[in-house]
Amino acid sequence: MPGHTQNSVFIAAPFDVVWDATNDLENWPDLFTEYASVEVLERAGDTVRFRLTMHPDENGRIWSWVSQRTVDRGLREVRAHRVEPGPFQYMNIYWSYEDAGDGVRMTWVQDFAMRPDAPVDDEAMTARINDNSVIQMEVIRDKVEKLAAGGVGVAGGAGGARDAGA
């Protein structure tokens, strides 16, 4: 059965700060703990195609793939998919941002299926994604809240209004 995850975090910061920081693709290696580099391959309007490379895993393997991501600031959502799915048959990602009192609730939804020859099955990948999403969301929350408070939460700041993403 295909995998599905949905995780949310409340970020005590204005929408513009949350949106700009989390969609500043070039700064993702400073925002996420798992990404070593991002290489933008192509931009067309609100859509970007990019290569994302992770830090080496526990076995020293470096995972890298190409994704395409389209942002819609007006709808406060991002849709993405892996162009080079690697061990996945497919991977579709949806991010949404909604006002929640004195901040923003950011939600990530991932729908995917693993290839039969992948190192893990759908159930194991669902558990991995759920565990790691919580970790990454907490790191992002802390950095963006620090940025909103006038500190340096993300290297280079929020990066302005660049439209990019996963």
What's 13's DSSP letter? S
In a 13 Å sphere around the CA of 109, the CA atoms on its Cβ side amount to 9
How crowded is residue 113: how many other Cβ atoms within 10 Å of its Cβ?
A: 17
Q: What pLDDT score was predicted for residue 1?
A: 83
Token couple for 49: 């195609």
Question: What does the DSSP 8-state code read for residue 34?
Answer: S
Pairing between β-strand 35-44 and β-strand 88-99 as defined by DSSP bridges = unpaired
Q: What is the pLDDT of residues 60-82, one digit of tens each?
A: 989 999 999 999 999 999 999 99
Buried b (16+ CB within 10 A) or exposed e, 3-27: bebebebebebeeebbbbbbbbbbb
- CA dist., res. 50 & res. 26, Å (int): 10
DSSP label at 117? T
Worst-scoring range by mean pLDDT, 9-18, 105-114, 140-149, 152-161?
A: 152-161
